[in-house]
Structure 1
Amino acid sequence: MENSRLAALLQTLDRKEQRELRKFIASPYFNQRQDVADLFEVLVKCINDNQPLPGKEETHRLLYGPGEVFDDHKVRMAMSFLLKLAEQYLVQRAFFEDSLAVKTKLAAIYRQRNLPRHFERTMREAQEGHRQQQFRNAGFHARTHRMLTEQFRFNLTQRRMVDYNLQAITDHLDVAYFAQKLRQTCTLLSHQAVYKKEYDFGLLQAVLRHIEEQNLTAHPAIAVYYYCYQSLVQPDDPAYFHQLKNLLVTEGDKFPPDEISDLYLLAINYCIRQYNKGGHGFLADEFDLYKEGLKKGYLLSNGTLSRFTYRNAVTVGLALKEFDWVEIFLREFKSKLEKGQQQSMYSFNLARLEFERQHFGSALQLLQKTTFDDILLDLAARALILKIFYEMDAHDALESHLDAMQRFIRRKEVISYHGEHYLNLAQFTRRLMEAQFDKKALEALKADIEKTEAVAERNWLLRQVPVNH
């Protein structure tokens, strides 16, 4: 039972959803089996009380009484029925949350049942709600196409001599398709860059020609992905990226949260790639995107900020020496992190800030009084302590720390890939300490740091090597 699909699904429900599903199960239209309703109560009680879920034999006893002979098939059928009901509930709940989709579907039903007054009133309500909604993405144009198509079909059935608005139906269909095509193309290109896989882009070139000839970038739904696409295929022409960045700032509220979040991440990743190629000016653009995305909530998911975004925003702020902004950001967004990550992520990143401010004592204190449950975060904290001891010329403490760090990495086999980066950091730091007054040794060390692929804190190490020793 613990590992069943049913248990996994029920464990995702909050209390409100549990109450709604209970009513759903109690409706004779959806369910007429008492054992299914009883099974729901048994499982939900265990989940809410943080108790282990019963096995099949115990479940059988609870549902059918101790006098009944155990019947595995009977329990499995009850579980199957309950799973189907839970799935029906979730689908119905999701559908009815989209009131415009409901009204459009209802209008179609009225048309099919030849109820013109009902159709016209429902369609008016749907169109009014549609006009008032803020988003203007591909979904908006696809919905407009569906509504206009439904109106066209209704007018045909009523034999009305009216302008059927066929051009608008076609135009909205085109905009929806072109926007979706470009969005998918950007996804493919991003995936291709990481996994080196080739894709067939189908009608893309014809789509691009039509967009340019008809000036369809006037539609935000198309424009953001057109400039995103051009940024990906022509990365050395920053004009496309700056068009994209401007659109994200001015038109960002016209896209739903998951879509605008993806667009911001695409733009941020462009900045990272350009920075890594030597375009240091893009660091300021990346910082602008983080500030705007955080201020407007685009980089949050359901009100929660990922620890990766939290840490990356700090990295950019520190690189630009925007220390005051970083300090405020760390404090204001700490509560937006997942509960179990708040204190460790806050302390670690505040220590990074204190290190950059050269407040080495307070940085060390923050790291030493915090427990890091995440192994990779623990490694990063150990690397920061290494840097602090080095900057403080605390050689004895650094030697001891390097020994402990290397033992820790070798003991944790699960981090072998990441461990290599930190083992190399430790080894290069030892060589750096030993070669302080040896020009040839320093030159060899610099060359080794540059050519070794797996090195944590590479830039910091290179800065420690005297240039004109």
Structure 2
Amino acid sequence: MQDTKVVRQISAMDGRERERLRQFVRSPYFNRHAATSKLLDFILKELGKTKPKLEEARAQDAVKGTGTDQKLNDLLSGLMKLINRFFAVEQLQSEAFREEVLTLKRTKELHRYKLLDNRGKRLDTKVAKHKFRDADTHLAAYEWKNINGYLQGETNRTDTREMQAMLNHLDRFYLVEKLRHACQLTANMMMLSTHYELLFLEPILAYLDSEDGQNLLKSGKEPSIDAYYHILMSLREPDDKSYYERMLYYLDDGFEYLPLRHQKDIYIFASNYCIARVRKEPEYLKELMNLYRRVLQNGIIYEKDEISEYDYKNIVTLGSATGEFDWTERFIEENRERLPAPKRDNAYALNKARFLYSLGRLDEAAQLLVTVTDSDVVYHLARVILEVRIAYDQQDQEYTLNLLETFRLYVRRNRKMSTKDKRSYINYTRFTKSLVNLKHQKDFMARSAYTKKLAALHTTVEETELVVERNWLLTESKE
């Protein structure tokens, strides 16, 4: 029973969500089967223990005395249906306008037109006062105007205001969603060589580039449309920096005009823009650093007060690379407890070791790496690569070569890595072994021969398609 869908779903809930589920299942409107409530009580009680005992026999005993002859599987199936309905109700309450719209639809079906008019005016007021002009806002307004416009048309066909409002909200809903998806899928096509038919996108961009479209964007009344338009154009025309600068506006002065999910999109696309520009313009490293400072200050980098291990790593790496050592060390320590609990110790130890390595404190970095566990492939790969760097810098040829050979065997035998990743890491071990041996032989061969072999290695690394740590290898093989 431990692996049933019901138990997995409830296990993923926090304490407050479990209590809301208990109240939901006990409500006679949604559930009148006492055995189902008893089964949920049993599951919740066991999941509250350090070592839950969720055997089927114990569950069956828990529902005795409820007057049911249903089998346990039937009760679990019924409970799962209630959990699904509970999720729907929870989601309904989390969406700003959904409950009002559904109320209006039901009121229309019941022909209660006086109540419909009253509730509709309340929704109009709520939409007008709502701080965001995102897709959800326009969709809610469109659905109400769709109801009311046709009702009013039955008595006065010459009054076009409601129907025109309906069309305006529908168009703006479509523009926000079309541009949002176009941004995501354009980035996907650029990174993964995929292809999507983005029907109507070119006419939309032609309209937004026209006088009417520019007036819409510059009016300040549709910030979500404006934000996604500039994200998309930064992908299509990266050399025009005005699009990126407008994205920055929505991380500063225009921050409060976008809902959280749109703010996060702005941050992700702006940071990716900086990363893509770094190769051509290294000064974008500092731009990226300033961007991270912004999102740390306004808080959108955090998800439920947690920072992802990847953002944590990127900030530590960038702070070290740009020489922001004091700031980076404060960031490492201040955000340690904000890392996801299951990965916290590994993420902290690995990134603190990387930081110490950047300061040249090799022994301290090596000692910290010992605490990184290898339960996760990603952490194992990162730990060994840093160990190799430390041993290489300490000119310990034998230990470096031993690490590389053990690492090569680990990669070759690993079943969780893709063929592409395996090739990248095996190429890394091969090139690094050549580099270590060549550096060791430097004092024992003619200068011209050494230079020639080093240049050949540099060229090979440069021309090889799949290799991790390419920049480090190129730097070390450059005479």
| TM-score bracket relative to the smaller structure | 0.7 to 0.9
Contact 2:431 2:457 in 1 (8 A): yes
CA distance in 2, matches of 1:423, 1:192: 28
Which residue of structure 2 aligns with residue 355 of structure 1? 357
Aligned AA (2:321): A
Q: How many residues align?
A: 461
CA distance in 2, matches of 1:402, 1:164: 73
**How far did 1:460 drift?**
1.3
Is 1:386 matched with 2:388? yes
Which residue of structure 1 aligns with residue 295 of structure 2? 293
**How far did 1:377 drift?**
1.3
Residue 254 of structure 2 aligns to a residue whose secondary structure is: helix
Aligned AA (1:271): C
Aligned AA (1:429): T
Aligned AA (1:274): R
Residue 13 of structure 2 aligns to a residue whose secondary structure is: coil
Is 1:333 matched with 2:335? yes
Is 1:232 matched with 2:235? yes
Aligned AA (1:273): A
Which residue of structure 1 aligns with residue 25 of structure 2? 25
Residue 31 of structure 2 aligns to a residue whose secondary structure is: coil
- Of 448, 461, 464 in structure 1, the residue corresponding to residue 460 of structure 2 is 448
| Cα 1:465–1:225 shift into 2, 3 Å | same
Structure 1 residues 290-334: Cα deviation after superposition (integer angstroms, max 9, x where no partner): 222232222222222211121122222233222223222212222
Identity value in percent: 26
CA distance in 1, matches of 2:477, 2:377: 29
Within 5 Å, give how 1:53-64 maps onto structure 2. Answer: 53-55=54-56, 59-64=59-64
Which residue of structure 1 aligns with residue 445 of structure 2? none
Residue 190 of structure 1 aligns to a residue whose secondary structure is: helix
| Cα 1:167–1:414 shift into 2, 3 Å | closer
Which residue of structure 1 aligns with residue 261 of structure 2? 258
Which residue of structure 2 aligns with residue 194 of structure 1? 191
- Of 159, 182, 201 in structure 1, the residue corresponding to residue 179 of structure 2 is 182
CA distance in 2, matches of 1:106, 1:157: 22
| Cα 1:301–1:369 shift into 2, 3 Å | closer
CA distance in 2, matches of 1:334, 1:153: 57
Gaps in structure 2 of 5+ consecutive residues: 443-449
CA distance in 1, matches of 2:87, 2:263: 25
TM-score w.r.t. structure 1 length? 0.86
| Cα 1:420–1:140 shift into 2, 3 Å | same
Aligned AA (1:4): T
Contact 1:435 1:442 in 2 (8 A): yes
Is 1:143 matched with 2:140? yes
Structure 1 residues 363-388: Cα deviation after superposition (integer angstroms, max 9, x where no partner): 22222344343222122122112112
**How far did 1:174 drift?**
1.6
Residue 382 of structure 1 aligns to a residue whose secondary structure is: helix
**How far did 1:153 drift?**
6.1
Q: CA RMSD in A?
A: 3.1
**How far did 1:339 drift?**
0.8
CA distance in 2, matches of 1:406, 1:112: 68
Gaps in structure 1 of 5+ consecutive residues: none
Is 164-173 or 429-438 further displaced after alignment? 164-173
**How far did 1:446 drift?**
0.9
Aligned AA (1:292): R
Aligned AA (1:51): P
| Cα 1:201–1:369 shift into 2, 3 Å | closer
Is 230-239 or 128-137 further displaced after alignment? 128-137
**How far did 1:40 drift?**
1.5
CA distance in 1, matches of 2:333, 2:268: 23
Structure 1 residues 95-138: Cα deviation after superposition (integer angstroms, max 9, x where no partner): 12345432344355556656677556645554454444432322
CA distance in 2, matches of 1:314, 1:325: 10
Is 120-129 or 323-332 further displaced after alignment? 120-129
Contact 1:344 1:372 in 2 (8 A): no
CA distance in 1, matches of 2:397, 2:431: 15
Aligned AA (2:342): G
